[in-house]
Structure 1
């Protein structure tokens, strides 16, 4: 018996010794709550993540495969190095204008079967992990193609998902997909497959233990963008590169890099509540500006005729009406959408811009990104895809006083398309033009990287409310998701806030809204983008109540602080944002029942504020209320309704 016990003791010691040997490095966040462990087992590099002592991600794979060598297997740990990083930076285009970032860093180095080296750099801040690979030169090879990445995320079995599927390439309107415009399923089963994977960002609810948000940042012309896909293991998701069919089949699905070369950052945000998810700045913390701004860029609100008046409004007279509307609302811009080149023309556009200037309104113009990746017929076409044509066009735009462009219809996530995004931004900066992308991919740190970048759509946005009854019915559902997922990692040019009861030019007969006026006003705060095209129409000046127009004149598009107040994705969402010294609190309710809440608003404790809310009949009104001295406020949000405190 003693011999058996001794044998078991020795075996236990031996096994635990192997387990201990397998862990090669560890690092924690500055507050000690988030912990990352790195393992070397059976020739593979792995990691796991715990938060507040609870495992949030089980052992998950690391590595990639290039055309020169395989860094996914036969890996041998070499060494690791720890350090710290900190910085303070300002950026008016994101959810928080002044950011203080501090992280502990860890670099882990491995060698593979060919004796080539790869490093994995981690930055662990409070609630966030960012990591990327650095591939060293391979003998005389100073270039390589990264063909595949095996980076994975292995979840606990009780996890549910909040994911948006990648669109099938070369489908949809004029073969313009994928454009990150699919819907979401809330609390879906782990491992549910999608034909083309899921877009970043991706949200996961780890039962009672907390929340995880996955994304990537720092993608530029030197790499492809990636997305998330399921695997043969139900609880393991993996980074996936673009589908070959994207961009009309042109361009590689991998990434051509110079060596030594680094990949974009993979980001993981973790919390025991949704507060760190809403408030994270990790997409911006680990990137740097790629060039200096050629001038001071300004941002703000814009009118936009196309969203309800459609193509027929692209004429001199109707655009003059929307310039007048912008002037009366105090908006900085008008967006003149597709077909202006044909229906107004370049010569008359000069006169229209001068008219706008006389009204203190600046002009943004729409452009088709190119003609090679899709069949979108709207013009101007073939002006943005060629360097020579682009610079000619941008010089003309600068000369006539245009301040920015909305460039539409991109072909996917290949490196070839990432180059086009960057080329447009870089050239536009030379001519003092700000850029908004539409029909586009997720922005990945671009607010910091490109000073003239002014936002992207990359969401099932307001135009689909015009075209789809189903999307109108799900408007409240999606609105409660965006603050926690899409909009938390990057600016989101949604183009909503309709005051029309019917989403038509006539404001009657069809396309009835299923949400209240209070809901619409709330989205002006919930959805963040430095330039937002709002759906206020000329008829709103007479149809809408004065308090609604006053709010739409007052609401800013730039924020100094963003705070999570309450909510659950797909059910309801309440967020507070601060512009200078003024707080705006907004919430929406997607559920069929009234949402009764006690909000904790310490920033408004004891203060009198204006309160816009809906009654049980769906009528919206404004009144003055006083928040309790303890900062608590009891409210009710009607079904498909919303509120604003300002």
Structure 2
């Protein structure tokens, strides 16, 4: 009996030691360069927690992970059962982006876990200066459904960072996270001295809209659901949560394709019918439609668009997107566009889309329509986001390019659906943003992906002073700084009024997708300078916020041994028009600039053959 008791005591001690070892084991995943590390463990409360270090220093301290289901919380009473690791190192060829070649190199760790008896996985990816993770849940048993009522992911930061708080099309409000009272959209940018963080989301196909909120601990952030819970009846994968670290504001842009890289690739070559370009919005009548096609062709615009109203009042259920208002001979305009190489994009509101999508897809294909603009979609709920994923794929299958407007924001889905060229989810020119807002956008919302800013450049008839709070030069510069494969130019203007050819000449030349991009200088909310290359020609956009900005551009990105014609477009002294200067330069030439507050400068550098 004593021997048996002695054996039981020994076995119990071994079990306790094994349990303690399981609790204290830390799983480590380093990035390819080893400078970015995520650590994962089960703490002494049996909670799943993670920590992020950059070059050996903590960025995110031990923080909780987990999801609140109907009957339990995944992330509590956790055991880690198994780990798997792999490495991916690939070069993505992409003709619709800021760079034609995108390096995707990361290390991956998958942890098989269980909370009590409920199994789940957490997948981590470590990129140089970025960490991403997501949850994978099993299919519910016995034909039941499961509900994610809350996400318990937290971000316990090491300092009281300033967060640039915003929601969809709102203004930005720099706020200390310990003083945060509102939610903030993904991606959100945070700064503290020389540290810059971006907390983002990738691959949201059927989740709800999640936002950052103030956490329970000092200097911490949590996650709040905007509108509803998440219901699933099959194996379910949540969106990626991402944390990226930079030592300067412009360095943040090495992550502007992170959501793209985290999303499943389109399984074929990008079809030739998917064409980027500049878009001209037109009045809803035949005369302006035909004249708009001619203007677009003469100014190197690839598309015209008919916005809300072409099939009737957009918010009335009686309005039918299969019918065209009498004032517009759409078929004549489409035919004229085909003769001139200009495609026609049609706007359809959510009401019309939900009622008629399966009907209008083959119909618009028969008409010869090039693309859709979706309006007033639901990008806030699981139902709305799930439907949008379905609708994006349907437009791809039928051969339409797509622009989604209003509250929808990108999470990298263009990698799966290359016809999704752009989306709004941004406070653009139609909402009269100021110069500060314009200088925050490149370091915040544009880190998620393309955005349709809807420029409203002045013309000889209208100044749009109620909409345009920055200079003409800044408008030109932003068409380089801001990325969107579809750029809507002259948003409120009638093409017949644009007699100022010298001013709008730059828009004729600037492309919308690029072979190479370099963020040269910049600080969030203050100023920015970006250089982008298409073929052998470089374009540079430089703009400033509420203060004058003087500096120098060193043209070290040009090809050695080549000479370039440099055309500089800049504001006159009174912000009344655009002046153009032309000179010859070469690699490493230094070009000084002196830009007044709210102003900008745009440059074209053409290789001399």
Q: Give the TM-score, by structure 2 length.
A: 0.87
Q: CA 1:508/1:116 → structure 2, altered by over 3 Å: closer, same or farther?
A: closer
Partner of 2:224: 240
Give RMSD over aligned pairs. Answer: 2.6
Give secondary structure in 1 for the equivalent of 2:291: helix
Give secondary structure in 2 for the equivalent of 1:110: strand
The answer to whether the Cα contact below 8 Å between 1:335 and 1:364 also exists between their aligned partners in 2 is yes
CA distance in structure 2 between the partners assigned to 1:569 and 1:464 by the alignment? 20
CA distance in structure 2 between the partners assigned to 1:346 and 1:499 by the alignment? 27
CA distance in structure 2 between the partners assigned to 1:297 and 1:46 by the alignment? 43
Structure 2 residue corresponding to 1:604, chosen from 553, 558, 581:
558
Q: Where do 1:146-225 residues align within 5 Å?
A: 146-164=148-166, 166=167, 180-186=168-174, 188-195=175-182, 197-208=183-194, 210-220=195-205, 222-225=206-209
The answer to whether the Cα contact below 8 Å between 1:160 and 1:207 also exists between their aligned partners in 2 is no
Structure 1 residue corresponding to 2:420, chosen from 448, 453, 467:
453
Q: CA 1:345/1:275 → structure 2, altered by over 3 Å: closer, same or farther?
A: same
CA distance in structure 2 between the partners assigned to 1:81 and 1:512 by the alignment? 54
Q: 1:521 aligned to 2:476?
A: yes
Partner of 1:249: none
Q: 1:329 aligned to 2:299?
A: yes
Q: 1:277 aligned to 2:252?
A: yes
Partner of 1:415: 382
CA distance in structure 2 between the partners assigned to 1:125 and 1:362 by the alignment? 39
Structure 1 residue corresponding to 2:354, chosen from 385, 389, 392:
385
Report the alpha carbon displacement of residue 230 of structure 1 after superposing the two structures with TM: 1.6
Residue by residue over 1:57-101, the C-alpha shift from the partner in whole angstroms, topping out at 9 and shown as x without a partner, is 121111112225421311123333332112221222222221121
Residue by residue over 1:295-333, the C-alpha shift from the partner in whole angstroms, topping out at 9 and shown as x without a partner, is 63112111113xxxxxxx322222233222212212111
Partner of 1:587: 542
Partner of 1:108: 111
Report the alpha carbon displacement of residue 107 of structure 1 after superposing the two structures with TM: 1.8
Q: CA 1:66/1:320 → structure 2, altered by over 3 Å: closer, same or farther?
A: same
Report the alpha carbon displacement of residue 354 of structure 1 after superposing the two structures with TM: 1.6
Q: 1:405 aligned to 2:360?
A: no
Report the alpha carbon displacement of residue 294 of structure 1 after superposing the two structures with TM: 7.0
The answer to whether the Cα contact below 8 Å between 1:153 and 1:238 also exists between their aligned partners in 2 is yes
Residue by residue over 1:81-140, the C-alpha shift from the partner in whole angstroms, topping out at 9 and shown as x without a partner, is 332112221222222221121111112232212x22222111111122111112235666
Where structure 1 has 5 or more consecutive residues not aligned to the other structure, the ranges are 1-17, 167-179, 245-252, 306-312, 371-381, 466-470
CA distance in structure 1 between the partners assigned to 2:177 and 2:278 by the alignment? 40
Query: Which moved further from structure 2: 599-608 or 409-418?
Result: 599-608
The answer to whether the Cα contact below 8 Å between 2:474 and 2:600 also exists between their aligned partners in 1 is yes
CA distance in structure 2 between the partners assigned to 1:509 and 1:219 by the alignment? 37
Query: Which moved further from structure 2: 74-83 or 479-488?
Result: 74-83
Q: CA 1:463/1:629 → structure 2, altered by over 3 Å: closer, same or farther?
A: closer
The answer to whether the Cα contact below 8 Å between 1:497 and 1:521 also exists between their aligned partners in 2 is no
Q: 1:430 aligned to 2:405?
A: no
Q: CA 1:277/1:23 → structure 2, altered by over 3 Å: closer, same or farther?
A: farther
Residue by residue over 1:154-199, the C-alpha shift from the partner in whole angstroms, topping out at 9 and shown as x without a partner, is 12224111121x3xxxxxxxxxxxxx1111023x22233344x111
Give secondary structure in 2 for the equivalent of 1:413: coil
Report the alpha carbon displacement of residue 615 of structure 1 after superposing the two structures with TM: 4.8
The answer to whether the Cα contact below 8 Å between 2:459 and 2:498 also exists between their aligned partners in 1 is no
Partner of 1:340: 310
Q: Where do 1:45-194 residues align within 5 Å?
A: 45-113=48-116, 115-137=117-139, 143-164=145-166, 166=167, 180-186=168-174, 188-194=175-181
Residue by residue over 1:517-546, the C-alpha shift from the partner in whole angstroms, topping out at 9 and shown as x without a partner, is 211100111111111110174567754252
The answer to whether the Cα contact below 8 Å between 2:81 and 2:113 also exists between their aligned partners in 1 is yes
Q: CA 1:535/1:45 → structure 2, altered by over 3 Å: closer, same or farther?
A: same
Q: Give the TM-score, by structure 1 length.
A: 0.82
Give secondary structure in 2 for the equivalent of 1:391: helix
Report the alpha carbon displacement of residue 30 of structure 1 after superposing the two structures with TM: 0.9
Residue by residue over 1:410-446, the C-alpha shift from the partner in whole angstroms, topping out at 9 and shown as x without a partner, is 2342110012212222222232111110113111112
CA distance in structure 2 between the partners assigned to 1:341 and 1:314 by the alignment? 10
Give secondary structure in 1 for the equivalent of 2:76: coil
What is the aligned residue count?
566
Q: CA 1:435/1:231 → structure 2, altered by over 3 Å: closer, same or farther?
A: same
Q: CA 1:390/1:295 → structure 2, altered by over 3 Å: closer, same or farther?
A: farther
Q: CA 1:486/1:141 → structure 2, altered by over 3 Å: closer, same or farther?
A: same
Q: Where do 1:288-303 residues align within 5 Å?
A: 288-289=264-265, 296-303=273-280
Partner of 2:347: 366
Residue by residue over 1:237-287, the C-alpha shift from the partner in whole angstroms, topping out at 9 and shown as x without a partner, is 11222324xxxxxxxx2242512x321111121111234411222111121
Residue by residue over 1:348-400, the C-alpha shift from the partner in whole angstroms, topping out at 9 and shown as x without a partner, is 21122123223332110111012xxxxxxxxxxx2x114xx312212111111
